[in-house]
């Protein structure tokens, strides 16, 4: 992801077949959990996007200060704050993309699955409101455990009769951002050139970087593959432990950066850019026994395009990658089933 993509030059026109048509005037984005550790820096990055005309911030606490503060930045997106359940519908009305970082983060010694007890209910409640008030919006789920919260969101949307699998995403971009950084550092490559697909899910061994598919084509020893894979899988824990002495929490700044990158990619897809690809945890057939799987998807006007092609990067894996893929399947399946069972038990 090159710097130029953070602030794409926005043309006042686009091509549709052989016609030239005016561009849409900008997109409306809602962030649910906007006053949190991720929510605040993410809101700032989104406020800087030339593709965004309206930015709606929702949280159960402290959203007024964030809204007033951001509102003073002289960038075009108009900021509005919403707080409390009674303002959630207004926050969501007419938005194109909803980003959900609401929920509790890990403390040292916890797994992401340990957050299920609190975050499952938060995600369920917020996605119910999305279904009622912004049923056509793209939904980006950041709240952990992503491996389960995305299936929960899917069940909620199904129950409300508005589920479109092309529009629901688990945000796994941070795994790609980390993989790109660590590979560039290890191999002395220019950061902007490195692109490593990361597939599977977003927890421990379910995070599977495909180093054999890294671009530019790079040779790794077996030891390097093992060390990089382990570091990418444990990077979230590395941050949780580093933050433990100073108030705690998990990755917020790198996560905000990653979420902004994924949002920008989604908006470029909505805007008609022909060549937008990102890894994300989506419903797909990449691995038949896993209804949700993170893989490289093409983003377009309706969210994921070419679902059938999802998982193409799983062809021609190395022995190490193929083994790791087999090993992650039971863990990921269990997390998916847990999310589905939870959502189906709800009244």
Just list the catalytic residues: 202
Judged by CB under 6 A, which stretch of 99-107, 157-165, 218-226, 265-273 contacts ligand NAD? 99-107
First to last CA, the chain: 43
Residue from 67, 119, 144, 149 that binds ligand LMR (CB under 6 A)? Answer: 144
Q: Closest approach of Cβ 281 to ligand LMR, in Å?
A: 12
Phi, psi of 131 (to 5 degrees): -60, -40
**Interaction between residue 239 and ligand LMR (CB under 6 A):** yes
- The item of ligand LMR, ligand NAD, none sharing an interface with residue 198, based on CB under 5 to 8 Å by kind, is none
Residues 55 and 47 sit within 8 Å (Cβ to Cβ): yes
Specify the DSSP class assigned to residue 262: H
Interface of this chain with ligand LMR, residues 187 to 216, rule: CB under 6 A: 202
**Interaction between residue 232 and ligand LMR (CB under 6 A):** no
Judged by CB under 6 A, which stretch of 7-15, 58-66, 71-79, 307-315 contacts ligand NAD? 58-66
- The encoded tokens of residue 99 equal 């980003």
Q: For residues 179 and 235, give the distance between their C-alpha atoms in angstroms, rounded to a whole number.
A: 9
Q: Closest approach of Cβ 131 to ligand NAD, in Å?
A: 15
Q: Closest approach of Cβ 250 to ligand NAD, in Å?
A: 5
Residues 204 and 175 sit within 8 Å (Cβ to Cβ): no
Query: By 3-state DSSP, what share of the chain in percent is helix, strand and coil, each rounded to 5?
Result: 50, 20, 35
Residues 226-255 as x/- pattern, contact with ligand NAD by CB under 6 A: -----------------------xxxx--x
**Interaction between residue 167 and ligand LMR (CB under 6 A):** no
H and E: helices and strands count for the chain: 9, 13
Judged by CB under 6 A, which stretch of 65-73, 104-112, 153-161, 310-318 contacts ligand NAD? 104-112
Q: For residues 281 and 198, give the distance between their C-alpha atoms in angstroms, rounded to a whole number.
A: 10
- The encoded tokens of residue 147 equal 């491996």
**Interaction between residue 338 and ligand LMR (CB under 6 A):** no
Residue from 28, 47, 56, 112 that binds ligand LMR (CB under 6 A)? Answer: 112
For residue 289, count CB atoms less than 10 angstroms from its CB and return exposed for 0-12, middle for 13-18, buried for 19 or more. exposed
Torsion over CA: 199, 203, 205, 209 (sign): positive
Residue nearest to ligand NAD (CB): 36
Strands 198-200 and 207-209: antiparallel
The footprint of ligand LMR (CB under 6 A) covers 105-106, 112, 144, 174, 202, 236, 239-240, 250-251
Q: Interface residues with ligand NAD (CB under 6 A)?
A: 32-33, 35-39, 58-61, 101-106, 115, 119, 122, 125-126, 142-144, 146, 171, 174, 202, 249-252, 255
């Amino acid at each position: 992801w090159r710097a130029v993509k953070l602030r794409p030059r926005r043309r006042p026109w686009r091509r549709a077949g052989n016609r030239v048509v005016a561009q849409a005037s900008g997109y409306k984005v809602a962030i649910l959990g906007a006053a949190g550790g991720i929510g605040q820096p993410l809101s700032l990055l989104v406020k800087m996007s030339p593709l965004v005309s309206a930015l709606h911030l929702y949280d159960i606490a402290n959203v007024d200060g964030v809204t007033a503060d951001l509102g003073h930045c002289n960038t075009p997106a108009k900021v509005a704050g919403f707080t409390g359940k009674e303002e959630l519908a207004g926050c969501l009305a007419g938005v194109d993309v909803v980003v959900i970082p609401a929920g509790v983060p890990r403390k040292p010694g916890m797994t992401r699955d340990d957050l299920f007890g609190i975050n499952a209910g938060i995600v369920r409640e917020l996605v119910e409101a999305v279904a009622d008030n912004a049923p056509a919006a793209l939904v980006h789920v950041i709240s952990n455990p992503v491996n389960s919260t995305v299936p929960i969101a899917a069940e909620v949307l199904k129950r409300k009769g508005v589920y479109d699998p092309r529009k629901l995403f688990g945000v796994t971009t941070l795994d790609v951002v980390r993989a790109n950084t660590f590979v560039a550092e290890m191999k002395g490559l220019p950061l902007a050139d490195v692109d490593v697909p990361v597939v599977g899910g977003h927890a421990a061994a379910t995070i599977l970087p495909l180093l054999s598919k890294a671009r530019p084509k790079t040779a790794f020893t077996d030891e390097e593959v093992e060390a990089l894979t382990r570091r990418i899988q444990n990077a979230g824990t590395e941050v949780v432990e580093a933050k433990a002495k100073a108030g705690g929490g998990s990755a917020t700044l790198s996560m905000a950066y990653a979420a902004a990158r994924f949002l920008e990619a989604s908006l470029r897809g909505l805007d008609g850019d022909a060549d937008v690809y990102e890894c994300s945890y989506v419903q797909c057939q990449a691995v038949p026994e896993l209804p949700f799987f993170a893989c490289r998807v093409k983003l377009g006007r309706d969210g994921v395009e070419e679902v059938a092609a999802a998982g193409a990067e799983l062809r021609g894996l190395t022995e190490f990658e193929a083994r790791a893929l087999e090993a992650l399947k039971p863990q990921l399946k269990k997390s998916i089933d847990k999310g589905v069972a939870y959502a189906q038990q709800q009244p």
